[in-house]
Amino acid sequence: MDSFIPSEHLSGVEHLQRSAVIATQNVARLRSELENEPDEFTRSRLLKLLLLEAEKSLVTRQQLDRIDCHMAELRELTYRQVELVEKGKLKGQFVERAAKLLALLNDLMTNYQTLRRRISPLAE
């Protein structure tokens, strides 16, 4: 148990990745120690540590769920904005402002997709 590396709750994707690597290493080490430990008290402590490390991946899954909700809402906003731009063009209206907003929504969606791809492996 001397080689246990405490993983931290850090912000940012890079910190999440670092934390996830440490948590994965800790889980593997703790499982191995748990399988080979004859002392019941030490096994109990190892099991508690193992559960704490497993909970950290739950936080990542919750972040993915939140990102998915934001992306779903953003898809609806984007769809409505596309309709506004197309209707405006059909009526011959000036749609530059609506088109800029649509581009902004597309950029935001791209950022969410990138973030989701970067976090997704951490939840496994």
Q: Is residue 8 part of a domain?
A: no
pLDDT tens-digit readout, 6-38: 555 444 556 666 666 677 777 778 788 878 878
Give residue 1's pLDDT.
47
Q: Is the pLDDT of residue 5 over 90?
A: no
Q: Is residue 30 part of a domain?
A: yes
Q: Are 34 and 53 in contact (CB under 8 A)?
A: no
Kindly state the helix (H) or strand (E) to which residue 92 belongs, with its residue range: none
Q: Is residue 77 part of a domain?
A: yes
Q: Is residue 68 part of a domain?
A: yes
Can you give the residue range of the structural domain that contains 107? 13-123
Q: Is residue 38 part of a domain?
A: yes
Region 97-120 average pLDDT: 87
Give residue 10's pLDDT.
47
Q: Is residue 6 part of a domain?
A: no
What's the domain count of the chain?
Answer: 1
Measured between alpha carbons, how far is residue 89 from residues 79, 92, 94, 96 in Å?
15, 5, 7, 10
Q: Residue-wise over 88-109: b if at least 16 C-beta within 10 A, else e?
A: beeeeeebeebbebbeebeeeb
Q: Is residue 105 part of a domain?
A: yes
Indicate yes or no: pTM above 0.75: no
pLDDT confidence tier of residue 114, bands split at 50, 70 and 90: confident
Q: Is residue 1 part of a domain?
A: no
Give residue 40's pLDDT.
84
Amino acid, res. 87? K
